[in-house]
């Protein structure tokens, strides 16, 4: 857990915004043993790894990050768009598991 020493614990608590619970995230979780999180726009892979290991007490094998552009939407004559999001696909080491229903207690 040497990665935790590089970052302040306060910063790591803010890196992960929420787990993504969707059809695609569930499919990825079952097939590849990965968990999907919404993360801060300026978070790095190393920060995400350290944050997941700190918060959930699991070992992380790898992290992939995807930037998702906000959809363009229109309301009447006004154009707008939803906010951009950044997602982290966290691959856990074999035998590791994150149970969100148990962590909430």
Q: Give the model confidence (pLDDT) of 51-78 as tens digits.
A: 999 999 999 999 999 999 999 999 999 9
pTM of the complete model: 0.81
* pLDDT value of residue 5: 61
| Separation CA 61–CA 22 (nearest Å) | 22
* pLDDT value of residue 4: 56
User: CATH says 3-71+82-95 is which class?
Assistant: alpha beta
What would the two tokens of residue 39 be?
């993360």
pLDDT at 27 over 70: yes
Task: Provide, rounded to the nearest whole percent, the portion of the chain with pLDDT above 90.
Answer: 58
Average pLDDT of the segment spanning 18-45: 91
Phi, psi (deg, nearest 5) at residue 44: -100, 165
Residue-range domain boundaries for the chain: 3-71+82-95
């Amino acid at each position: 857990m040497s990665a935790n020493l590089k970052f302040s614990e306060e910063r790591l608590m803010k890196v992960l915004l929420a787990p993504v619970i969707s059809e695609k995230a569930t499919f990825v979780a079952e097939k590849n043993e990965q968990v999907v999180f919404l993360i801060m726009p300026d978070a790095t892979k190393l920060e995400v790894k350290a944050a997941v290991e700190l918060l959930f007490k699991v070992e992380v094998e790898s992290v992939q990050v995807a930037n998702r552009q906000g959809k363009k939407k229109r309301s009447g004559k006004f154009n707008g768009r939803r906010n951009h999001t950044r997602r982290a696909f966290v691959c856990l080491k074999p035998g590791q598991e994150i149970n969100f229903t148990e962590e909430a207690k």
